[in-house]
Chains A and B, each alone.
Chain A
Amino acid sequence: MKAIAWPCPAPGGTGEEFAVVAGPEDARSRVLIAPALFEEANKTRRLLAQVMRDLSTRGIASVLPDLPGCGESPAPLERQDLASWRKAMAAAARHFATTHVLSMRGGVAVAPRTGSGWRFEPIAARSQLRTLLRTRILAARDNGGNDSPARLLDEGRHHGLELAGYRLGPAMVIALEAADLSRTSKRPTVTVAELGGVPLWRNPEPDEDPALTGALAARIGRDIAS
């Protein structure tokens, strides 16, 4: 497994973004992973790394690109929106010649529409936005603050918003608010309940879950083989 730079368009970027790649370079099956969004990306990073390692032992290559503005990306997050993320993911699918797409959680909102694949525990970006707003409101309330989702959203649509340490531009706030699960809805959904395990992204201190990662990689391997 290694991190590599690849040519990727992104507003305010350098023309280069980073991706983690795993598996044989000449693999016939190549899985593009659309990562979870915001803080869930951190909580699922290790899970994904283990899935990628497991896939590579099955002869399946995989690539996990950074979303522009996140991770090692040189682009400013504030300039990104769902459209720029979709462009980046589509560019990754072409550059790495991927054959399948695995979206993690909110990554379903940015996964390329073409090609077969899986949606792991999809969540609408608008639900995730609601959780982020709520986290900020509850945290502010602990310090005597009194804010409402409606006021924060109104501010966000015009001036952008900082949520859980992520500086979102107005275009991103508007796009998240509108994003439901209709995109790529033809891909089958894979849930933690059917694989066995706990939703690591919800846990404040996510633990490792080798059984879950193994089951997810096995499911992908089985589907590709059939």
Chain B
Amino acid sequence: MRELAAQRTHDDTDAQLRAILRDVLGLKPRQVEAFTRATELFGALPELDSMAVAGLLTEIEDRLDIVIEDDEVDGEMLATYGSLLAFTEAKRAR
């Protein structure tokens, strides 16, 4: 049961995070759907400049009801879709 609930949270976070990236960065739905854990974000997506990072983080906070401290934000967290998803899931699990 617990595993099932955890899987559900994972799917939900995954879907919401994709929707946020699509909305915040104005990406095409098809592009966001094709993201894998290895897809590079910061430094690879031209849409994701440092202004956009701030907006992205605030939107993640508001939609997923979590608080992200600024000292938690670094290149590693935003490096790939997988690292951002793992960070967000860990925050929601708390």
A127 touches B54 (CB 8 A): no
Per-residue CB proximity of A141-168 to B under 8 Å, as 1/0?
0100000110000000000000000000
Q: Say whether B24 contacts A202, CB under 8 Å.
A: yes
Q: Is B77 an interface residue (CB 8 A)?
A: no
Task: Specify which of A127, A132, A137, A142 is in contact with B70 (CB 8 Å cutoff).
Answer: A137
Q: Are B58 and A131 in contact (CB under 8 A)?
A: yes
Interface size on A, residues (CB 8 A): 22
Q: Judge whether A127 and B62 touch: CB under 8 Å.
A: yes
Nearest residue (CB) in A for B62 is A127
A167-209 vs B: 1/0 string, CB under 8 Å? 0000000000000000000000000100000111011101100
Of A138, A148, A203, A206, which contacts B53 at CB under 8 A?
Answer: A138
- Are B26 and A203 interface neighbours, CB within 8 A? yes
Among A192, A202, A203, A207, contact of B59 (Cβ-Cβ < 8 Å):
A202
For the complex, give the distance between the alpha carbons of A199 and B25 in Å. Answer: 9
Indicate which residue in A131, A134, A203, A207 contacts B25 across the interface (CB closer than 8 Å): A203
**Chain A 121-135 interface mask (CB, 8 Å, partner B; 1/0):** 001000100111011
Asked if B55 is at the interface (CB within 8 A of a chain A CB), the reply is yes
**Number of B positions contacting A (CB below 8 A):** 22
Asked if B55 and A202 make an inter-chain contact with CB atoms under 8 angstroms apart, the answer reads yes
Query: Which A residues are CB-close (under 8 A) to B49?
Result: 204
Please measure, in the bound complex, the distance between the C-alpha atom of A215 and the C-alpha atom of B22, giving whole angstroms: 20
How many A-B contacts are there with CB distance less than 8 Å?
57
- Inter-chain CA distance A202–B58, complex, in Å, is 11
B51 to chain A: which residues have CB within 8 Å? 135, 204
The answer to whether B70 touches A203 (Cβ under 8 A) is no
Q: How far is the CA of A149 from the CA of B50 in the complex (A)?
A: 16
B26 engages A131 (CB within 8 Å): no
Indicate whether B86 reaches chain A with its CB closer than 8 angstroms. no
Please determine whether A202 and B52 come into contact, CB atoms closer than 8 angstroms.
Answer: yes
Smallest distance from the beta carbon of A201 to chain B beta carbons, Å?
8
Binding site for B on A (CB under 8 A): 123, 127, 130-132, 134-135, 137-139, 142, 148-149, 192, 198-200, 202-204, 206-207
> B residues within 8 Å of A by Cβ?
22-26, 47, 49-59, 61-62, 70-71, 73
The 4 closest A-B CB pairs, nearest first, are: A135-B54, A203-B26, A134-B54, A131-B58
